[in-house]
């Protein structure tokens, strides 16, 4: 009876664990396509974002402390070159949708059209007001759907997003051949 009880408990725990994991829709490439709420407001300044090109993660800055002598926050800039084996690109679409692409660094010199198929992207939305930008993307953390929200600023061809209170991601416009991006429409 004791062994049977343990087996039942293990089976119940297994069912509970399996039932808790995200089981929503995916693309044929494994990207999540669970419906998340887009921004209810309409973007005012689409002209600040170039929807015909990409924005590449250029650097990550981490603020370390407030420098009393210089009366400013000191930070170090972490070059993305050795931090992660992928390069992150944002593709903004004119309808307030955003695709996030992770391309292996070894492939960034030889970008191909198929790399920017929206079915391979992490789905997201963006909203612009003035020079401020808000971004939402969907991801899975510990088997659960999570909506990541970030805020930032747009200045010329650079987007700076704040991650928490001490880390910034800096994205710079990257001009690539238009043929790589033409004709793609997001599937969310």
**Over its length of 188 residues, how does the chain's per-residue pLDDT go in tens digits?**
555 555 555 565 455 444 557 788 888 888 889 888 888 777 667 788 999 999 999 988 776 656 667 666 655 555 544 556 889 999 999 889 999 999 998 888 889 999 999 999 999 999 999 999 999 999 888 788 889 999 999 999 999 998 877 788 999 999 899 999 999 999 99
CB count within 10 Å of CB 99 equals 26
User: What is the model's pLDDT at position 115?
Assistant: 95
CB-CB contact of 119 with 187 (8 Å):
yes
Q: What is the DSSP string of 18-55?
A: HHHS----B-TTS-B-------SSPPS-GGGS-TTSEE
User: What is the model's pLDDT at position 80?
Assistant: 47
User: What is the model's pLDDT at position 68?
Assistant: 64
Token duo for residue 44: 């005012």
Strand partners, 58: none
Please identify which residue in the block is written with the tokens 């015909």. Answer: 52
Q: Which helix (H) or strand (E) element contains residue 15? A: helix 2-20
Strand partners, 25: none
CB-CB contact of 181 with 54 (8 Å):
yes
Token duo for residue 135: 């971004």
């Amino acid at each position: 009876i004791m062994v049977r009880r343990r087996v039942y408990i293990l089976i119940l725990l297994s069912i509970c664990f399996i039932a808790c994991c995200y089981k929503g829709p995916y693309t044929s490439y494994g990207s999540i396509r669970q419906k998340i709420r887009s921004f209810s407001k309409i973007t005012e300044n689409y002209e600040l974002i170039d929807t015909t090109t990409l924005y590449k993660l250029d650097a990550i800055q981490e603020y370390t402390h407030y420098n009393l002598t210089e009366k400013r926050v000191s930070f170090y800039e972490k070059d993305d070159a050795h931090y992660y084996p992928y390069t992150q690109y944002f593709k903004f679409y004119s309808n307030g949708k955003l695709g996030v692409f992770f391309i292996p660094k070894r492939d960034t010199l030889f970008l191909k059209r198929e790399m920017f198929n929206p079915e391979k992207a992490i789905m997201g939305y963006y909203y612009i007001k003035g020079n401020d930008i808000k971004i939402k993307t969907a991801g899975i953390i510990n088997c659960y759907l999570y909506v990541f929200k970030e805020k930032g600023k747009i200045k010329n061809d650079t987007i700076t997003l704040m991650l928490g209170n001490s880390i910034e991601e800096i994205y710079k416009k990257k001009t690539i051949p238009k043929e790589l991006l033409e004709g793609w429409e997001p599937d969310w």
